[in-house]
Amino acid sequence: MSTLQLSPEELARYLDHTLLAVDATDAAVEQLCADGVAYSVAAVCVSPTKVPVAVRTVDGRLPVAAVCGFPSGAHPSKAKVADATHAVDAGASEIDMVVNLGLVADGRWDEVEADIAAVRASVPSPALLKVIIESAILSDDQIVECCRRAETAGADYVKTSTGFHAAGGADEHAVRLMADTVGGRLGVKASGGIRTTQAALTMIEAGATRIGTSSTAAILSG
């Protein structure tokens, strides 16, 4: 159990308030964004087609993040580039992309890196690029190499999970390993199954600098 103590206002600044349900309506995204503004979270995170709704609703008061190649990562790099470019052109300032997990499993690391680099080139700084590695299905060695390749390709963050994989989401061990690997040079986003204050604090104590969650209200009221 974490011994870290943060006020709700301090904790909110770690949170990416997220809605990625496939049947999310414009009204639901508008509510997400209104809540995100009220909570003063780090960002709101939505699907690419919902970026215009989110940008209009937050009206410059919060960053908007969009996912890319989500949730499988098994998209051609050109498709991921199109996803990311569409989102940034629509007003997103952060992109959360999924690595090609088949390439990871095959150990084709140069291709993994090239896939990330293609998205990075399409959405250069100051846009933030977060790389989702689906840590629950990876060995420690694979987690470390994913983080190294993401850094070399120019990512700003590494991220544990989509929250959509049957293997599960973030855990303390993976977050700590990722944080140790990037050594503060990149941020670490923990996501997937983080629904309580204690879970969020545990991830932050392990090294997470962002938390992706759809349970913001519960976390902040815990």
Specify the pLDDT at position 151.
Answer: 98
The fraction of the chain above a pLDDT of 90, given in percent, is 98
Q: What is the mean pLDDT of residues 132-139?
A: 98
pLDDT over 90 (residue 222)? no
pLDDT of residue 2: 79
Question: Which pLDDT belongs to residue 216?
Answer: 98
For residue 94, the model assigns a pLDDT of 98
Confidence of residue 172 (pLDDT cuts 50, 70, 90): very high
Q: Provide the pLDDT confidence category of residue 158 given band limits of 50, 70 and 90.
A: very high
Burial class of 111 by CB neighbour count within 10 A (0 to 12, 13 to 18, 19+): middle
Q: What is the pLDDT of residues 207-220, one digit of tens each?
A: 999 999 999 999 99
Distant-in-sequence, close-in-space partners of 194: CB < 8 Å, separation ≥ 6: 169, 170, 200, 203, 211, 212, 213, 215, 219
Residues known to be catalytic: 96, 159, 189
Residue located via tokens 């941020």 = 187
Measured in degrees and rounded to the nearest 5, phi and psi for residue 140 equal -60, -45
Question: In the chain, what are the domains?
Answer: 8-221 (3.20.20.70)
1 pLDDT higher than 80: no
Pairing state of beta strands 157-159 and 128-132?
parallel
What is the C-alpha separation between 169 and 157, in angstroms, rounded? 17
Taking only the tens place, the pLDDT of each residue in 73-90 is 999 999 999 999 999 999
Q: What is the mean pLDDT of residues 13-29?
A: 98
Specify the higher pLDDT residue, 209 or 1. 209
Which pLDDT band, with edges at 50, 70 and 90, does 30 fall under?
A: very high
- Is pLDDT above 90 for 3? no
**Residue 152 pLDDT > 90:** yes
What is the Cβ-side half-sphere exposure of residue 156, based on CA atoms within 13 angstroms? 18
Q: Are 142 and 171 in contact (CB under 8 A)?
A: no
Omega within 30 of 0 (cis) for the link into 71: yes
Residue 59 has pLDDT above 90, yes or no: yes
